[in-house]
Amino acid sequence: MKQMLKSCTALTLSLGLVAPAFAQEPLKELGKGEGELSIVAWAGYIERGETAKEYDWVTDFEKQTGCKVSVKTAATSDEMVALMNEGGFDLVTASGDASLRLVAGKRVQPINTDLIPSWKTIDERMQNAPWYTVNGVHYGTPYVWGPNVLMYNSEAFKGEAPKSWNVVFEEMNLPDGKSNKGRVQAYDGPIHVADAANYLMAHKPELGIKNPYELNEDQYKAALELLRGQRKLVGRYWHDAMIQIDDFKNEGVVASGSWPFQVNLMEAEKLPIASTIPEEGVTGWADTTMLHADSAHPNCAYMWMEHSLSPKVQGDVSAWFGANPSVGAACKGNALLTDEGCKTNGYEDFDKVKFWKTPVTKCESQGECVPYHRWVSDYIGVIGGR
């Protein structure tokens, strides 16, 4: 809640998404590294072996380039936008609900793909993706992508995966005979409105929702009502992956939307945790490494973007986070991901994931929709019980 309130003011400055992208000139040639590099990233995205020694894609980069990497972990896309607005960082691993805000807010700069030799190896589905490509100009380098899964305690569900998201949206007794009230969580970010809309697409087709990020007033009202009902069930709204893990381990939480990252960590501890993609489908994220408009270390930043596209790094990140690589070659021959890892993580389900994007007033599916600044203020109200 505090994080959302902190970010709200900063967000207002970056929501003018109807404005044309600015035409800043990208770097023309790669120079000598500046000796350091600061990255705003999701938890688990920039590892140097401190959590698990085999997961380290920073140490070799630092040795090869002389660029010392520092990381600021962000828990939500809104926090990432706020941090980039404040400045002082070189790169950010932005999801689709932040990337176009950063472009419109002139917080990131176009990149020169000619300075990234591995660009040509990127999955064709990602090379010109609309969440970071504006008018044919690329504002970043694809990193990894994945679904927002339904994580659950297999003991509470008697070993059978829940088939629907209704276990976190509707009050009910779970297979263990106990109510779900106080035992489920929801994401502490306005983009969670899209999860409610995705649920309504399946269960209230009469609303006519075609895209969970493009809601007219009636559709939006229905989503908020569903979320207000969920508020009575939620024990805690989560945005910190490690706190969510602790809640599942120690606080009796048994079901929540989550990332494969949390699932993998708890499964590695042999805990009764599993995940599923329910019948309604899922939202998801495709993340882009974007360069700050005022980066003080652009050469190191370009070196990192090239490094991030190596099959080894792509495979290691995907294995650690439970994500999918943006470079197809990573799906084979990676010791950590294994040759089955991409299939396990849903690499073939790309077209089934409704990727995060920032809601705007002028939308494709129905002309006029509720913009993101309303999602921000109204979701704060929902969490506050209003």
pLDDT tens per residue, range 285-314: 999 999 999 999 999 999 999 999 999 999
pTM of full prediction above 0.75 = yes
Burial 218-252 (b: 16+ CB within 10 A, else e): ebbebbbebbeebeebbbbbbbebeebbebbeeee
Where does the chain hold its CATH 3.40.190.10 domain(s)? 2-146+286-355, 147-283+359-383
pLDDT digits (tens, 9 = 90+) for 355-370: 998 898 999 888 899 9
What three-state secondary structure class fits 209?
coil
CATH classification code of 2-146+286-355: 3.40.190.10
CATH number for 147-283+359-383 (one of 3.40.309.10, 2.60.40.10, 3.40.190.10, 1.10.10.10): it is 3.40.190.10
> How far is it, in rounded angstroms, from Cα 80 to Cα 105?
13
Radius of gyration of the chain (CA): 20
User: How far apart (Å, rounded) are the C-alpha atoms in residues 157 and 299?
Assistant: 51
Q: Is the pLDDT of residue 21 over 80?
A: no
Could you report the per-residue pLDDT of 57-115, keeping only the tens digit for each?
999 999 999 999 999 999 899 999 999 999 999 999 999 999 999 999 999 999 999 99
| Rounded-to-integer distance, Cα 165 and Cα 185, Å | 12
Query: What confidence tier does 273 reach under pLDDT thresholds 50, 70, 90?
Result: very high
